[in-house]
Amino acid sequence: MKVVAIVGMTGAGKTEAARLFENEGFTRIRFGDVTDEEVRKQGLKLNEENERQVREALRKKYGMAAYAMLNLSRIDLALKQAPVVVDGLYSWDEYIFLRNYYWRRFYVVAVWASPETRYARLSHRGQRPLTEDEAASRDMAEIEEIKKSGPIAMADFTILNESTLDSLKKEVKKTIAVVRRKD
């Protein structure tokens, strides 16, 4: 069975792409669930500031591959039933960890959209909306501190998501078909 990680900057369309993989029979593992669970466990409100503090604390405790390590058993368990799509692989270390662990069964799909497009989407999203300043700050932190750009640059597939949801769906379905054909 295959593991596909969806990567991209916040607001690029990663979650939508992961849902499309899920609709095509992949089990979806959202790395951010670990953050949400920890925020709730600490009795904090789900918002950008608290989520960032929790992400940084988990990475300080477990290293930059924290989310891959903390989700590995969930991925392995899910792989017994179906291929897996990982929503939210961020750091270079997570990429290296999963690439080394799953090797030829591991594929990375980057979803790309310009900052202007992403920031507009983020300001209107229902869950966890971000202002332009919050989104720009998050971009800088993710690029500089967790090396989020590395997995995007090393993606096996890149999907441009600058227009409609229908366009994204078509591109994701094409990518799924190619991934299914891979050995």
- How far apart (Å, rounded) are the C-alpha atoms in residues 126 and 146? 26
pLDDT means over runs of 10, the chain (183 residues): 96 95 97 94 90 91 95 97 95 96 97 97 88 93 90 97 96 97 83
**Angle between the 92-102 and 66-79 helix axes, to the nearest 10 degrees?**
30
- Six-digit token string for 4: 């596909």
Residue 6 CB contacts under 8 Å (≥ 6 apart), including other chains: 14, 17, 18, 21, 85, 86, 87, 88, 89, 109, 110, 111
Q: 132 near 121, Cβ under 8 Å?
A: no
DSSP, residue by residue, the chain: --EEEEE-STTSSHHHHHHHHHHTTPEEEETHHHHHHHHHHTT---SHHHHHHHHHHHHHHH-TTHHHHHHHHHHHHHHTTS-EEEE----HHHHHHHHHHHGGGEEEEEEE--HHHHHHHHHH-SSS---HHHHHHHHHHHHHHS-THHHHHT-SEEEE-SS-HHHHHHHHHHHHHHHHH--
Give the rounded distance of the alpha carbon of 6 from its chain centre.
Answer: 5
Query: pTM of the full predicted structure?
Result: 0.90
State pLDDT tens for residues 14-50: 999 999 999 999 999 999 899 999 999 999 998 878 9
Pick the CATH number of 3-181 from 3.40.190.10, 1.10.490.10, 3.90.79.10, 3.40.50.300: 3.40.50.300
Tell me what pLDDT residue 183 has: 67
Residue whose pair of structure tokens reads 């069975």 in the numeric block: 1
Listed residue (76, 52, 51, 55) closest to 67, CA to CA: 55
Q: 97 near 65, Cβ under 8 Å?
A: yes
